[in-house]
Chain A
Amino acid sequence: MSETITAKDINEQDKALLSDLQDALANCMKCGNCMEVCPVYKEVGKEAAVARGKLSLMEGVLKGAIPLSAAFDTAMSKCVSCKACTAKCPCGVPADELILRGRQAAVKARGLHPIKKKVFALLKSRHLFDFSLRMAGIFGPITFKKIPGKMAALARFPMPGMDYKRVTAPFASTPLRSQYPEVIKVDRPTMRVGFFTGCTINYIYTDVGQSVINVLKENNIEVTMPSMQHCCGTPVYMSGDVDSAKILAKHNIETFDSYNFDYIVSACGSCTEAFRIEFPHLFHDDPKMSAMTEKLAKKTYEISEFLIDIVKIDKTKLGPVDVTVTMHDPCHMARGIKVTKQPREVLKSIPGLKFVEMKAPDRCCGSGGSFSLGNYELSRKINDKKIVDIASTNADTVVTSCGTCRMHLTDGLFQNNMNQDALHVIQVLDRSYKAGKK
């Protein structure tokens, strides 16, 4: 594609995409406070890496001062979407959202990155996606070597879009939703809950999904995992492909709405954020979808939040778990849905468990969802700082509330020759319920 696409061209192509951007960008007073908190800038040290630089680049494109070039595209992609800049901004500029808009403009003008294009095309077809990831689970052991005792695996040979030495989690041989009936009955249920598993829990971290189900069953809650549910769309949305994100969102909204659940529960900050914030945002100008979306948004909870705020778990049923735990707050928990107290309360309810707070627990782990696919070395550097903070707590277990964070922490611990377990909060609670029965 030519390097000379200008503001005029884009404006002609898609005026709606840019119409409100000018005002939002003008609100950035370029104070540079975002430099203090941006994990990418801390590593790269160049202005184009930080929100102030990225927003300026967008302004430059709109003014016609610089082209909507490959370099623009690269600058926009160098963001973990951790929202730390937005939380810090004295002018209230939603920098993370604006950077997504920058990505959208780049996608419109230049198309998606070829690797992402292939992955997302797959994602749009639920059948094809499901089939591929099942196959990955079945044939996974041929391509990945499991690391003993951990939910982790190393690639046996180089794979496209993957760093050779990177540790990921193995695909499950049987996805979570195939391990259970669609509706998991309990005697005299107190409520009916729809479990939005998300992709990592369904296809990779089935252990987390099992713990969610166990814990909800312990609380007499009927769990349904709608078989037609699909990826929440966050990865495509974050990459600037709004049209695909809308297709996935609409599918999930209609699927979950048809069940009329009391609550919708997810065990991932980003998935919860999708239902609660992103979906309403995507359909705010579509009256028919908007009502349905708002209704679902109001009854969607992240699992720890659900257990503490809604279920109000009976702590006397919990047995001792003798571990020292530290916690990493995923960005989309801390600054997306703003849930940080409840996971801590879950942990502190567990007898025998020693909780040690790490330094800056809500600083990004470097994963950034699919960011780490295209920027592995950079995401490792950000993660190494997190690993140092984990090490200084002397905890034997680090917990979090996000699949990709867990995966990236596991990789970081492995690369730094550390032996700590990386788990989801709910897995430790599940253990505690089991210990309570002994």
Chain B
Amino acid sequence: MEKHHINALKEIVGEENVLTSAEDLYCYSYDATPGHAHMPDAVVSPANTTETSKILKLANENRIPVYTRGSGTNLSAGCVPTKGGIVLLMTRLNQILEVDLENLVAVAGPGVVVADLNKEVASFGLIYPPDPGTVATATLGGTVAENAGGLRGLKYGVSKHYIMGLEVVLANGDIINTGGKNVKDVSGYDMTKLFTGSEGTLCVITKIIAKLVPAPEAKKAMMAIFKDLDNAGKAVSAIIAAKIIPATLEIMDNATIRTVEDYAKVGLPLDAEAVLLIEVDGNPIVVEQEAAKVMEALKANHADFVQIAKDDAERDKLWAARRAALPALAKLRPTTYVEDATVPRNKVPDFLREVSEIAKRNNVTIGTFGHAGDGNMHPTIVCDIRQPEEMERVYKAMDEMFKAAIALNGTLSGEHGIGLGKLPWMEQQHGTVAMNAMKSIKRALDPNLILNPGKLVGEC
């Protein structure tokens, strides 16, 4: 980037909203993904859609790469400015513009932190369900761009199920609106769905129309410990077969159990092959009935220990083990890769077994926990990125893990996105023809390839 470009950007957003010092640029060279970092040439924070449009027009005319960023909590290197250029920081567009109680929608800027939106709508007895682990820091724009999920995915779905409309700026600076507040809307291509999960490669999101749902009146949490992984898998299937869709249905594997126990001393048996955490929510009467059926299914499938939370304090205790999973694993070693390979629900035990085999074979530490109900696993690899020999084994294990997920008819990413982290396996999952179709979409909407270039679909 040249000096006159920087000056032009300063003209658009004001001097104080363009960062160019080496120190500031260094702070935007990374996101939450290990091993990927590159300095941008400028960090630009627009205040509104008009400024965003002007920035993109300038970047497009001058072929300057643009990397859109919210809070930078991405786990697939989606925010890393790998080719320099502009980091487009959207955090100033942080207004909740409307909470429409008649249509049950919220309209908000992309810079709103997801937890803040939930705080706002909670006073009306509503929730915006997608709740990724970073819900207290991640921006709405970032979670929509990544199509983020969370712990309640099984019952409530992921971001794409809640995004009804968007205002976006295209690569050339044009502003378009997609969707709206209509519950039913089949007019034209579903551009809202296309942009949701496009990882900053097709447009820059400047406004979001999100669906809200009534907050559940009651919750009931249960925990079950299994000495046999297959029984845990059968219990999961049995719960769903009993036509119960829990809000949360979490699993932890033996490696995670041992790590959590060592760290938090919550009383888990070290020889357990799986722990399930189940939470049903909704109408209080239905919740009681469903909880009873879940307990039945757990016992019928030979759970070695079951517990149901009688009150909030007990609920917190049951959740403590699951909450400790990532911190406990992360504390083992300096570098932590949280992956999100996902398989069909009935393949969860097979996948967990594969992962522990892969860990053993490559002498790598992997603890797997995740959302058993929707098959979204989090194999978490802990290592030290400064040790090249170890990293070779880590990359090999990662390769085998993703291939295993694909072989089980799974997918590379359940909720973190592809970015750069999972790009090497995209062709294996989708095939050349499908990849070419995706690349054509990219080239049609961003002919100069300035938006998050090289990510998601790779070089075009």
Contacts and interface: CB of A to CB of B under 8 A. Distances in A.
A67 B22 contact: yes
A60 B22 CA distance: 10
A45 B27 contact: no
B92 A45 contact: yes
A26 to B, nearest CB: 4
B336 interface: yes
A35 B29 CA distance: 17
Contact of A66 (B22, B31, B71, B335): B22
Given A29-B32, A31-B32, A33-B134, A69 B23 contact: yes
B335 A33 contact: no
B386 A91 contact: no
Nearest to B337: A29
B72 interface: yes
Given A53-B27, A56-B30, A35 B71 contact: yes
Contacts of A67: 22
A161 interface: no
Contacts of B385: 26
B443 interface: no
Nearest to B333: A27
Interface in A118-172: none
Contacts of B32: 29-32
Interface in B13-54: 19, 21-24, 26-32, 34, 45
A57 B23 contact: yes
Interface string B90-110: 011000000000000000000
B134 A46 contact: no
Interface residues of A, number: 28
A65 interface: yes
A22 to B, nearest CB: 8
Contact of B28 (A35, A47, A69): A47
B26 A91 contact: no
A23 interface: yes
A435 B393 CA distance: 73
Contacts of A53: 27
Interface residues of B, number: 33
A92 B331 contact: yes
B327 interface: yes
A46 B19 contact: yes
B27 A26 contact: no
Give the dominant DSSP class at B's interface: loop
A32 B72 contact: yes
A29 B336 contact: yes
Nearest to B22: A66
B30 A66 contact: no
A417 B32 CA distance: 43
B411 interface: no
A71 interface: yes
Contacts of B137: 32-33, 35-36
A72 B23 contact: yes
A46 B335 CA distance: 24
Interface string A46-59: 11100001001100
B22 A26 contact: no
Nearest to A22: B386
A47 B330 contact: no
Contact of B327 (A47, A60, A71, A90): A90
B23 A36 contact: no
Nearest to A72: B23
A307 interface: no
A75 interface: yes
Contacts of B73: 31-32
A26 B21 contact: no
A26 B34 CA distance: 10
B277 interface: no
Contacts of B26: 56-57, 60, 65-66
A31 B334 contact: no
Contacts of A33: 134, 136-137
B357 interface: no
A29 B330 CA distance: 8
B27 A47 contact: yes
Interface string B335-362: 1100000000000000000000000000
Interface string B412-437: 00000000000000000000000000
A72 B25 CA distance: 12
B28 to A, nearest CB: 6
Contacts of B334: 23, 26-27, 29
Nearest to A74: B23
Contacts of B314: none
B330 A91 contact: yes
Most buried by A among B26, B91, B327: B26
Given A36-B136, A36-B137, A90-B326, A56 B27 contact: yes
B157 to A, nearest CB: 24
Nearest to B385: A26
Given A27-B334, A71-B21, 14 more contacts: A26-B334, A26-B335, A29-B32, A29-B330, A30-B31, A31-B73, A32-B32, A35-B137, A36-B137, A46-B19, A48-B23, A66-B23, A67-B22, A91-B327
25 contacts: A26-B334, A26-B384, A26-B386, A27-B331, A27-B334, A29-B34, A29-B336, A31-B32, A33-B136, A36-B136, A46-B19, A48-B23, A48-B27, A53-B27, A56-B26, A56-B27, A56-B30, A57-B26, A60-B23, A69-B22, A72-B23, A90-B331, A91-B330, A91-B331, A91-B336
Question: Lowest 6 A-B CB distances belong to which pairs?
Answer: A47-B27, A90-B327, A26-B334, A53-B27, A71-B23, A36-B136
